[in-house]
Structure 1
């Protein structure tokens, strides 16, 4: 049975802090178009054999699998093959590629792991936007996500997909911008359109920004506070050069444009306004200190 909010009191409206909550394990992506019913958990493999095999192969390689479908569409011609998108979200030059395959053996996922576009796919020249609408995982994702996905698709035809669970039900409606893996939560339709337009221009909007997927949560928090302090919105302008942890305190050296900062953060668990199963507790971070350092030299990102 789908689970959802009994009452809101701030939940899903932006009242709950969203920072540092992007899925830390998602650096590589496999999106598989499937218009049939989605199971509550993809790892249960309660899917057609060819789709289940693709999901299993992705999971075995540390690739994040997502089921996708076009907003408002639930049917597909059987002889079209399987529409897939693969995303490499690592470093400052992420990419996205798509194709139609006959079956799992036609998609080289080992190439994706190596950072190479599979032969069956072609590089995409426009970003893709995912809106979680996974009702069997959480009813709020469908209730809030479905109208948002349709509204966003009207503005950006063919670039928007409904998707299965992306992590963080308490932040529904969730929006993911690929290939960078930029996460937003508690999105209204207006906020989603603004965030998508900003991403297409190479920028991030800090309001309801959850973080970048594939980066540890403390470093997502470090980036968030550095951006808040400087007002830096360019997607690639903020880099964590190094970090160290002492207990639950994380200290990092961050580059923002031509300026470096030492940023110290610490987790701060708080009770979310919503008392439902999807938002009983929201873990967030607090800024301990932020100090400007010497001008930037040359360094390698800590999470590249």
Structure 2
């Protein structure tokens, strides 16, 4: 779509969330997934979404590209957070969505829940009722990923935000949000998340870590591409630049003096981050009216 053709940076555009609660709901989802999914009671869905949001998190519906739950089959749940410390992912099952609602209320969004370490997961938006671009771009990626990575770690997801960067995807347990990936790059990014590392996708593909405000998302994504460890193996999707994934615990940032100070391993730098509105316009979603094009500009602070 026009936004991608404008080639503007994607960093700083990840939807905000301190943690994610992902509930398997097979079958079709409506435009508002939590209250319009065919197999989710709208009252329970609304209460679950409001509870998760009230605790600082984000509810995402997921469905397996290959597995189809039937009748009384248990529903998979992924819960992930702790992104500032490298992240954690827990997997378990519930008999019905109301059971998850009770669990979230008891957990309260605090600390690492007990349960099975879920390894890593990649959620790829395929929410056609919300935006056709996501489904058209996301489903081919899903097919390739299930072949290369294995079906247990790959999920279709409801709206992740940022249709203009489709295909959009969320990596757990790192909380990194990506866009505009092809299948080769998506596999590389997933393997980085499995190692609790951040994938240096550069301006076009790295949207940022979702627990941070936009300025810090942009600054960290910029630093990953600018100062990330060089690798001997050519990067599969960044035009000859060789970058290795960076352990998530090796990067941090803070808002200081109107800018952002980023620490990346032994590097520390203060950058200025500015939201720039361009003269052009483009739809942010399939079928929507054009809106002004904008991006986050990152530049090292002088002096």
| TM-score past 0.5 threshold | yes
Measured against the shorter chain, the TM-score band is 0.7 to 0.9
Q: Which position in structure 1 is the counterpart of 2:251?
A: 238
- Asked if residue 22 in structure 1 is aligned to residue 18 in structure 2, the reply is no
Q: Which residue of 2 aligns with 1:154?
A: 147
Q: CA deviation at 1:241?
A: 3.9
What is residue 252 of structure 1 aligned with on the other side? 260
Change (3 A) 1:140 1:261: same
Paired residue total:
274
**CA deviation map 1:232-273 (0-9, x unaligned):** 44133221144243xxxxx12221212321211211123668
Given that residues 126 and 156 in structure 2 are in contact (C-alpha distance below 8 angstroms), is that contact kept between their aligned partners in structure 1?
yes
> Is contact 1:144-1:172 (8 Å) kept?
yes
- Tell me how far 1:70 sits from its aligned partner: 1.0
CA distance in 2, matches of 1:90, 1:99: 20
The structural deviation recorded for 1:68 is 0.4
Match of 1:96 in 2: 89
For 2:30 and 2:212, the matched residues in 1 are separated by: 27
CA contact (8 A) 2:216 2:254 kept: no
SS in 1 for 2:263: strand
Check conservation: 1:261, 1:291, Cα contact below 8 A: no
More helix by share: 2
User: Within 5 Å, which residues of 2 pair with 1:1-304?
Assistant: 8-9=1-2, 11=4, 15-23=7-15, 25-42=16-33, 44=35, 48-49=40-41, 50-73=44-67, 75-103=68-96, 104-105=98-99, 107-110=102-105, 111=107, 113-117=109-113, 121-124=115-118, 126-157=119-150, 158-201=152-195, 202-207=197-202, 208-232=205-229, 233-234=245-246, 235-245=248-258, 251-270=259-278, 274-275=282-283, 277-278=285-286, 280-290=291-301
Change (3 A) 1:77 1:123: same
Q: Is the contact between residue 129 and residue 178 of structure 1 (CA under 8 Å) also seen in structure 2?
A: yes
SS of the residue 1:228 aligns to: helix
Report what 2:236 is aligned to: none
Report the TM-score when normalising by structure 1: 0.80
Conserved 8 A contact 1:18-1:209: yes
Report the alpha carbon displacement of residue 171 of structure 1 after superposing the two structures with TM.
0.5
CA distance in 2, matches of 1:159, 1:276: 29
Shift of 1:72: 4.4
Partner Cα distance (1:114, 1:264) in 2: 33
Q: Please list every run of 5 or more consecutive structure 1 residues that lacks an aligned counterpart in the other structure.
A: 1-7, 246-250, 293-304
Change in 2 beyond 3 A, CA 1:84/1:271? farther
Could you tell me whether the CA contact under 8 Å between 1:198 and 1:205 is conserved in 2?
no
Q: 1:179 to 1:291 in 2, by over 3 A?
A: farther
Where relative contact order (Cα < 8 A, 6+ residues apart) is larger, the structure is: 1
Using the TM superposition, give the Cα deviation of residue 152 of structure 1 relative to its aligned residue in structure 2, in angstroms: 0.7
Q: Deviations over 1:99-146 (max 9, x none)?
A: 11123245521425111315xx4222x210000000011000000101
1:182 and 1:212 in contact (8 A); partners too: yes
1:226 and 1:263 in contact (8 A); partners too? no
Q: TM-score, normalised by structure 2?
A: 0.80
CA RMSD of aligned residues (A): 2.6
For structure 2, the residue ranges without an aligned partner over 5 or more in a row are 230-244
C-alpha offsets along residues 56-115 of structure 1, whole Å, 9 cap, x if unaligned?
432343320011011145x31222222211111442142111111123245521425111
* Structure-2 change in CA distance of 1:117 and 1:14 (3 Å): farther
- Partner Cα distance (1:14, 1:128) in 2: 30
